[in-house]
Structure formats: structure tokens, C-alpha cells
Structure 1
Amino acid sequence: MGRESASLLGRLACASGPRDLRWGRNDPSVRRDRCLQGLSRLTPPTLGQWWYGNVTTGVDHRAVIEAVQEDAGLSKHFAFMTLMSAGIAILGLLLSSPAVVIGAMLISPLMGPIIGFGFALSTFDSNELKRTGWALVIGVVLAVLFCASIVLISPLQSVTAEIAARTRPNLFDLLVALFSGLAGTYAMIRGRHGAIVGVAIATALMPPLAVMGFGLATANWQVLSGSTLLFFTNLMTIAAAAAILARLYGFATGLSPNQTRLQATLIVAAMIALGIPLALSLRQIAWEALSSREASTVIASNFPKTARVNDLAVNYHADPIEVSATVLTPEYRRVEDRLRNQLARTMGQPVLLSLDQIRTEDGAQSASATNASALQRQATKVAEQLALVAGVPVGNIVVDRAAHFASVRAAPLPGASLDAYLQLEKRVAATMPGWRINLIPPLMPLPNVVVTDGEVDPKSLETQVWAAKRQGLPVSVTGGSNQQADEVTQWLTNAGVQAVKGPSRGGEIAIRWRLPEDRSRN
């Protein structure tokens, strides 16, 4: 009985000592260590006693808090690095360059305020909650508005693969953020700050903000909502992980039971609120992956065993669902209607089927079939890229695989000029050598001709010639001197454009469309 009484009195003595480890206050580690050492002589230590006596004693709480405070506040350095990281991120996303996006992650300063917010949450320090929260709000607003302004003046405003990858967060993203938050907080507590770089890459805090700016600038609410959910998933999960680990390492041991319960309730509620939509998104992604595998099996079952399904693509966002596939088969079969019904039953929704059959010899893929399959893949890639830059569905693309030709009429892009559409066409053509790309821009006024020292600059006619050929419309040349108008008209004619000379009234040389109603008056 005396041994148990001594143990109880010892624990009460340790508990009655100064236990408050909030920001910048006295560190009770020395007194607590002595208490725990005395207790260890009386009774075998519990798991909690062992943890606080052997693990947390090696932590310099004051130094950790000072380091966290230094990185968590709002400063000129924080604002500048946030803007630079956001600018690099949005350019990398628009160019669909993973290397550039990773560079933006490396210099992003957002991990500091988020971990600081988690530490403040663990200690219930209202002043630090306000300080770190304010830094996060300012950083988010700066990044989103800066990215939106870059997108508004950019000729590239289509959803790239890098942007689309950050619009469908799921439960796995929450788990990545949780593990990254634990790793980042552990590195901060144990003084291994170099690991923060890896954490920044794993959680990718800045790219979702850049995608939010893209969605805001282009009024694409699906992109905006998806990227917003991804960013706040990362933010809240990292902050919660930091708060949990900070408590385990002895920060804020002076919280009352009520404060601890409130803290745990807030963390659990935030995780549930984020987990439900992310779990539903993960379920949808899993269903799509399973449906694609089942669709391949269903298609293959309608052909001989030696047949093979190639280039299966399923568009789950279309209504009805669009399924396209190429089948290498030793014999042609009329199975489209039966396949359409089978796929509809498998997926539980109506299906629009596009099926290409390529005959092979004795079920083996011949050289011609191999070439045809490769050509089909090229055609699919060209159609996807053209649809991306033109802002239209893939079904709007006209592709002639035999002639290596693809054409599309682009949708109007806010703020895009004719030269922007020309550069988009060149970009697709550069990625698909051997293909002739025909991007038809919206009908808009042609730019004026550049005249330097009274001489017409032939290079300034490139956009006008390209637009006239794509539209298939004649043009008229007005303004300038007679000699200049004659020269421009001749240049256009030699380039294959139907051009006529209009009245020369001096001033700038203008090239105008000759629409049918204009030609009927002449």
C-alpha cells in the first residue's frame, strides 16, 4: 500500500508543476524529467510516462517554437516568394511541363504558415492562430489573383493535362497530405529541415492554387471547385497532422480536458467533412477504372480468341458515355449493336460506341496491322491535342488518317488574337511531325500591315495569309499609298489568297474580309 501511495503522490507532484508549454513560455522539461526519474524508481513506467520521459525530453521546445514562428508569419519575403512560386506554377501548368511545376513547389513558402497554424491549434494560442491564419489568407489571395491575371493575358487558356490532374481530388490525396504533414512536422521538431523540401513536393500546395486562378480567370467552375477542394484538403490535413504530432511531443501539455476534447472534436470533424467527398470521388475513379477493364473484356468476347483490343478510350463525362476502340481481328464481324447493348448493361448507362476493326492474317498482327494501329494512336493523339487547344470536344475534330490530316474550327477564346491561334496550330504541328494541322480560327478582324520607313514588312502578312487560307474567304486591301496597296495585294495573291485592291486613302494599310454581301455590291 505504501508503494502505491508513493507512486500516486509522485504523479500528483509532477502534474502540479508548471506544465504550460505554450508559445514562448517557460520550458518545464527539467523539472518534469526529475519527477519522471523519481517515479521510475517507485513503479514500472506506463507508455505515456515512457514517451514523455524518453522521447520528448530530447526536444528543444523553445528552439522548435522559435523556428516555427520564424517561418509562419507574414513578411515581404513570404509575399514575394508566394508570387514567384505562383507565377512559375501557372506557367508550368499552361505549358503542361511537370519540371516547371516541380520548380514552383520547391520555392513555395506555404508549408511554414500551415505547420505554424497546426502548432497554434495544438496549443490553442489565439494570437498565433490569428497570425498564421492571416498569413495563409494573404498568401492564398495573392497566389490566386496573380495566377488569374497571368491567365487573362495569356493566349493559352485551355485545360492541359497538368491542370486536369488537379481537379479531381480523392481520399488518397488526403492520405498523402496526412503522411506529408506528419513527416514535415517531425522534421521541424527534430531539426531535420531538409525533409521539408520533399514534403513540399509530395503535397504540391502551390499548383492547386494556380489551378484555382486558372478556373477563376476562365470562369471554369468545375476546375475552380475541384482545385479548391484539393488545396483545402492539403491545408487542413497538414495542419491537423502538425497539431497531433505537436501534442505528442509535449507542446501544450497544459490544456484542460475541455480544451483537449474541443481540439479533438475540431480535428475529427474537419477530417470527416473532407473525407466524405474525397471518398465519393475515389469511388467514382475506381468505378471508371473497373468499367474500362470490363469494357475491354466485353469487346474482346465478341471476337475470336486471337483478336486483340487496342486503343480503348472511354469518355465518362459525355452523355451518353462515349466508348471508342480498335480491334485487331482475323475476321470482320457486325457486332456494333450487340456490343452497344452489352456495354450499356455493364456500365448501367447508355453508351455511344465507335468501333474500328483492322483485319490481321491468321489472327496474328501483320506489319500492315501494326502500322494501322500506330496510325490510329497518332490520330487519337492529334485529335486530343487539337481539341485541347481549340476548346472543343474531341468529336468535333476531322481526322484523315490516310492523308495525315486533321482539321478543327476553334471555339472563341477570351482575349485570344489571330496570332494566338496561329501559334497554337504551330505548337500542335511541332508535336506531331508528318501531320498537316488545320486550325480554323473564329472570324475576327485581320490585323493591319506593318510599314517601316515607308516599306511594307512582308513578315507582318503571315497571320493575315494564314487566316485567309483557313477561312477560305477573299480579302480587300485599303489605305496606304497606291504603291503600298499594290504591293500588299500582290503579296497576298502570290501566297494563294484571293485579294483585291480597294480605295487608297492614305493612313494605315488595312486588310478586310470580303464577305458575300460585300462582293454582291461590286
Structure 2
Amino acid sequence: MADGQADSGVNRNPVSGSIALIRRWWRMVCREVDQVAVIEKVRGESGWTPRYVFMTCMSAGIAILGMLLSSPAVVIGAMLLSPLMGPILGIGFALAVGDFRWLRDAGRALGLGTIVAILFCAVIVAMSPLQTITSEIAARTRPNLFDLGVALFSALAGAYAMIRGRDGTIVGVAIATALMPPLAAIGFGLATFNWAVFGGALFLFFTNLMTIALTAAVMARVYGFSTYLSSKQSFAQSVVIVLVFVALAIPLGFSLRQISWEANATRQAQELVRDEFGDAARISQLDFDFDAEPITVTASVLTPEIVGGAEERAQRTLRRELGRMVNVDLRQFQVDTESTTDSAELALARMREQAAATREEIADLTDRLALIAGVNADEVTVDRNSRRAIVRVRALPGAELETYHALERRANARAEDWDVQVIPPAKELPALGVGEDGLDAAGRRNIDLAIWAAQRLAVPVGVSGSDAASAIVIERMREAGVDARRLPGEQPGFVALSWLAPDGGAQE
């Protein structure tokens, strides 16, 4: 009986025995950690210092320039320089040990650094001629549940590296979590008043911030860092951490669900087009505009045979499959054989590149002309086919016709291969000086200016002066296509020009 009792005391439950063994091993691991050295290291990197401010500004500047240029390599360089990981880890460790003074200092450093980075990026964007939403900016505006997972795993790695003295791992964590690019995107949204970009990037930064800080707190407590919190306070802290993760996961989950739906819609559209045209056809382009109402699908298909009614059938099928209103713009390009498909697709790609370049060129030209003329961009008329741009300028105080003529010459000099026409206000026409041999040098310059103004305004010009000089002026203007009309009156030494109403009488 005694032997049986002894055996029962030795043969413990395998599960509880394994747990006890793991606990003993973990206590040994925790004793290997120099907690004082780790805390001092984290505390030293989480404060507000001149180096921290300088590196934050440099990282922010590199990040926003890389995003404006859509250069991933430059953006990665900004991630490596960013010092924001320091105060975020400091917040996590301060929460774990219950040091609220440290928590306040680290939070102050993070808050001020965040504001400095956003404002610095906003200033750069405001001064930049490039204010287009690039792919690098757009990528930081739609956080989802996967972003939470990336931040979680990165935070685990970062906290482990800090506790175990593996500082080299922090570099990879800085790249993975990408703390600075979302701040740069926030600055872009602030400078351009694009609140969709501002809000999306702010949510991504907040997700990364909270995930890293709370995960660092959990890791520090798991490693047995001493705490000043009571058991109740420690339990309350654990509950808060769980609730924060759940609160972040819910909207990020909805965002992931929307992205998944969009990806599924794109896949269904691709399969539908393939079924409609067969294996011999190739989809050269398929674009969705999910923000449009209704959703717009644009597709280009290279096919050996034009299929009638394909666009209508695709539209009906997509509406039924997706349960949403969808407009389909299906463009078919016939190719003779499969061997010509590649060359046709290459030609289409070049056409799209040229069209995109032309749109950027027209937008740039429109903005420049609007700025020169002092009008809104929608008041500039652009004829893409004839490469002509026309803008009617507002009257400038003290400006004469020569000023507006100079504006047109300057605009044409900057817009290669474009015919820029500036329509001036109907300012007083210059007088034409007359010498013994006809118009003098100033008169010849002024008649060219008058012809230019009359051509732009398409208004008749009245000419008064001596018969011989008036005849020379009228002939010159009519050769240039200007409706010039003789008016009574004679002024010795010059010819006077004046604007006439289009239906006004003329005397030759």
C-alpha cells in the first residue's frame, strides 16, 4: 500500500508535469535577461532629444519625396532612418513596469515627433510642383487586418530583439512596420486637403503605433520585468490591451473584407471576359473603378474575331454576380493570328502610355496657363487633337496690350509643340507713327501688336489718318485676316486705331 502511494506521488499527470517543466525553463530564461540594462537602453532611446528631432525631420523629408516620386527604394531609406520606434517601445515597456513618468516622457516624445513629421511633410508637399497621389501614397490609405498582423509580428520581433540584445533585428522591424510613410501620407493629405488620404494614413499609423506599444508591453511582462502595478491593475491592463486589439481588428477586418470583395469582383470579370471570347483572345487591360456610382469596368480585349453584344452580356452577368449596378466599357481589337497578339498588345500599351503622358502634359499646361492668366483651370480651353490651348486673361492693373502679348510668347516658349493663344482684354490700341517713307520703326512694331490683338479678339478695327498711311495700314491688316475699316478724320504724323463693334458701320 505504501509502495502504491509512493508510485502515485511520483507519477504525476503528464500535462501538469509538462507545464511545470516549461515554467522552470522559462524562469531560467528570464533570469538570463539583465532587466536593468534593457530598461536603461529603452529609456535612453525613447526621449525627446535634438538627435531625435533631426532624424525625424530627415526621415520625414526622405519619405515624402520618395512617395511623391513613387520610389520604393527611397521610402525604405526613410524607414531605416526613422527614430519613432524608440518612444513607441518606451511606451510599451513603461506600461509593463508601471512607470508612469517614463510613460509620460515617451508619449510626449512620440506626440511631438509625430506633429513635427506631419508638418514637415506638409510644407514640402505645399512647395512641391508634384501633388499627385502616387501608388506609394495610395498604398498607405487602406489599412486592413493584414496590416495589423504585420505590426503584431514585427512588434514581437522588435521587443524580443530589445530584450535579448539583438539590436540588428530592429532594422528589419523598422522596415516591416513602416512608421514614417503613413505620417508622410498624412502630411500629403493635410497639404492637399485630401481628407480621404489623411484619414486612411492616420488610421494605419495609429494601428501600427498601438500594436507595437501594446505588444512590447506584453512581451516585457512575459519576460518577467518587475512592475509596480498591483494584481488588480495588472489584470485591468491586460483587459484593456485585449479590448484595444479587438477594437482595431473590427474595422480592419471590414476593410480586408472589402478588399477581398474587390479582388473577387476583378477575378469574376476576368473569367467572364475569357468565357465570352474564348482561349484565342487575350485581355490586354482590365480596370475597375469601385468608387464610381455605378461601378465602372473598362476592358480591352485582343481577339481574332469581333464578338457582337459582348459588352451588354458582360454587363448583365456582372450585375447579377456582384449584386451591384455595373457599367462595362468593353473595347475589342481584332488581330489576325495568335502570333500578332503580342505586337498588338505592345502597341496598345504604348498607346496607353502616350495617352497618360498626354493627360499629364495637358494638366500641367492648363495649370500654368491658369496661373499666368489669373483664372481657374476650367476656364482654359484645350484642343488635344490640334494641340492648341486658349485662355482669356483677366485685366491686370496698369497692363497694356504688350504685356499680354509677352505673356503669350512666354507661354509658347515653355509649351513645346503647343499653340498657346492668350485672349487679352480690349485695351486701347497703340497709335502708329508715320514717317516720310510710311510707318516708322515704332509704328511697324505697333501694327504687329494691333494685328495680334485683333486676331485674338476677332473684333473689327477702325483706322483714321491720312489717306496714304491709312491705306497701307488697312491693306496690311486685311492681309493678316483682320477686318480693318476706314474712319473719317486725319491726324498729322500718325494713324489712330480703335475697336469697332462687329456690326458697326465702316467708311473706306
TM-score bracket for this pair, using the shorter chain length: 0.7 to 0.9
Q: For residue 359 of structure 1, what is the aligned residue in structure 2?
A: 334
CA–CA separation in structure 2 for the residues paired with 1:230 and 1:439:
44
Structure 1 counterpart SS, 2:296: strand
More deviation, 91-100/371-380? 371-380
Cα gap change, 1:239/1:118 in structure 2, threshold over 3 Å: closer, same or farther? same
Cα gap change, 1:416/1:216 in structure 2, threshold over 3 Å: closer, same or farther? farther
Structure 2 letter corresponding to 1:51: W
Mapped pair 1:166 → 2:117: no
Q: For residue 226 of structure 1, what is the aligned residue in structure 2?
A: 200
Unaligned runs of 5+ in 1: 2-42, 391-406, 420-434, 449-457, 501-517
Q: For residue 305 of structure 2, what is the aligned residue in structure 1?
A: 331
Q: For residue 463 of structure 1, what is the aligned residue in structure 2?
A: 411
What is the CA-CA distance between 1:464 and the residue it aligns to? 4.8
Q: For residue 379 of structure 1, what is the aligned residue in structure 2?
A: 351
TM-score with structure 1 setting the length: 0.70
CA–CA separation in structure 2 for the residues paired with 1:370 and 1:51:
62
CA contact (8 A) 2:141 2:204 kept: yes
Q: For residue 483 of structure 2, what is the aligned residue in structure 1?
A: none
Cα gap change, 1:75/1:276 in structure 2, threshold over 3 Å: closer, same or farther? same
Structure 2 letter corresponding to 1:370: D
What is the CA-CA distance between 1:471 and the residue it aligns to? 4.9
CA contact (8 A) 1:409 1:442 kept: no
CA–CA separation in structure 2 for the residues paired with 1:135 and 1:488:
67
1:122-171 Cα shifts (integer Å, max 9, x gaps): 11211111111111110111111111122122221121111111101111
Q: Calculate percent identity across the aligned residue pairs.
A: 45
Structure 2 letter corresponding to 1:98: P
1:18-58 Cα shifts (integer Å, max 9, x gaps): xxxxxxxxxxxxxxxxxxxxxxxxx99442232012x1111
Structure 2 letter corresponding to 1:73: G
CA contact (8 A) 1:312 1:326 kept: yes
CA contact (8 A) 2:122 2:190 kept: yes
In structure 2, which of residues 218, 223, 243 is the aligned counterpart of residue 269 of structure 1?
A: 243
What is the CA-CA distance between 1:489 and the residue it aligns to? 10
Structure 2 letter corresponding to 1:298: L
Structure 2 letter corresponding to 1:356: R
CA contact (8 A) 1:330 1:359 kept: yes
What is the CA-CA distance between 1:72 and the residue it aligns to? 0.2
RMSD: 4.3
Structure 2 counterpart SS, 1:324: strand
CA contact (8 A) 1:108 1:206 kept: yes
What is the CA-CA distance between 1:176 and the residue it aligns to? 0.7
More deviation, 254-263/267-276? 254-263
Mapped pair 1:370 → 2:345: no
Mapped pair 1:341 → 2:298: no
1:90-114 Cα shifts (integer Å, max 9, x gaps): 1111121222211211111100000
Structure 1 letter corresponding to 2:41: A
Structure 2 counterpart SS, 1:325: strand
CA–CA separation in structure 2 for the residues paired with 1:377 and 1:122:
56
What is the CA-CA distance between 1:461 and the residue it aligns to? 5.1
CA–CA separation in structure 1 for the residues paired with 2:392 and 2:112:
42
CA contact (8 A) 1:85 1:104 kept: yes
More deviation, 439-448/88-97? 439-448
CA–CA separation in structure 1 for the residues paired with 2:53 and 2:301:
55
CA–CA separation in structure 2 for the residues paired with 1:190 and 1:216:
40
Structure 2 counterpart SS, 1:279: helix
CA–CA separation in structure 1 for the residues paired with 2:285 and 2:295:
16
More deviation, 248-257/324-333? 248-257
Structure 2 counterpart SS, 1:65: helix
Mapped pair 1:304 → 2:278: yes
Structure 1 letter corresponding to 2:27: Y
Structure 2 counterpart SS, 1:357: strand
What is the CA-CA distance between 1:308 and the residue it aligns to? 2.5
Task: Answer 1 or 2: higher relative contact order, Cα 8 Å, separation at least 6.
Answer: 1
Larger Rg: 2
Cα gap change, 1:462/1:66 in structure 2, threshold over 3 Å: closer, same or farther? same
Count of paired positions: 424
CA–CA separation in structure 1 for the residues paired with 2:76 and 2:388:
32
